[in-house]
Chains A and B, each alone.
Chain A
C-alpha cells in the first residue's frame, strides 16, 4: 500500500514516483494507492497513477485507489482515470487485506 499524506503535485511527485518504482521492483504488483489522507491531487498525480498502472500491468498486476473525498474524486472522474483504475471510497472496501507494498510504504508529504 502506498499512502499519500498531504498534497500530490509537481513538487511532491518525484518522491511518490520513487515509491511506486520501489514497490514494483520489490515484487508488489497489486498496488493500493491510499489517498484518504491526501489534501490535493491534480493531473500530475493522475499521470503518476497511470504510470503505476503501466508498470504493474506488465506483471499482470492492478491498481486500486482509495479516495473518499468528493473534491479529489472529481479530478479522478474528470480525467477519466476511474475508467481504468478501480476507485474505492475507503480501504474497508477492499476484498482482501491490503498487501503492504514496501517497508517504506508511507509517503510523508507535508501540506501547506
Chain B
C-alpha cells in the first residue's frame, strides 16, 4: 500500500534541505530501496524545488510550493507543484555543448537534464497558473 507524504513550503531556498530530508526519509521507510536511489531522489526533488522557488520569484511570497511524495514498494513518485508563470518545456533554449567556450557563459541549464538522468520517469506540465514536475525513481537503478 502506498504511503503519501505531502509538504507545503514557502518559496525559500533555506527550505530545500528540509524538502530533501523529508523525501529521503519517506523513501527510507521502504527497506528495499537502494541507498543510491535515495541519493538520486534527494537530488531530483531538490532540483525540481529549486526551479519552483525560482518560478515564485515575482510572486507575493504568500504562495506555497507543494511537494507530494508517494512511496510504493518498488518506486517513489515525487511531484513538485508551483504557482509560477509557467514555461514551455518543449521550447527550452538549447545550450552549447559542455566543451564549447560559449557554454561557460551560462551557469544554468543543468537542472532539467540532471533530473531526467537521475529519475526513471520525468513529466513536466506547465501553464500560466503554474508548473507541476513529477519524477519517479524506482527502487533500483537500471542495469
Contacts and interface: CB of A to CB of B under 8 A. Distances in A.
Interface in B27-81: 36, 39, 42-43, 46-47, 50, 53-54
Given A50-B104, A111-B17, A112-B21, A79 B46 contact: no
Interface of A: 7, 9-11, 40, 42-44, 46-48, 50-51, 53-54, 57, 71, 74-75, 78-81, 83-84, 111-112
A9 B110 CA distance: 13
28 contacts: A7-B17, A9-B16, A10-B16, A11-B14, A11-B17, A40-B46, A42-B43, A42-B47, A42-B50, A42-B114, A43-B110, A43-B111, A43-B114, A44-B111, A46-B110, A47-B107, A47-B110, A51-B107, A74-B39, A75-B43, A78-B113, A79-B98, A79-B113, A79-B114, A81-B98, A83-B98, A112-B18, A112-B20
Interface in B104-120: 104-105, 107-108, 110-111, 113-114, 117-118
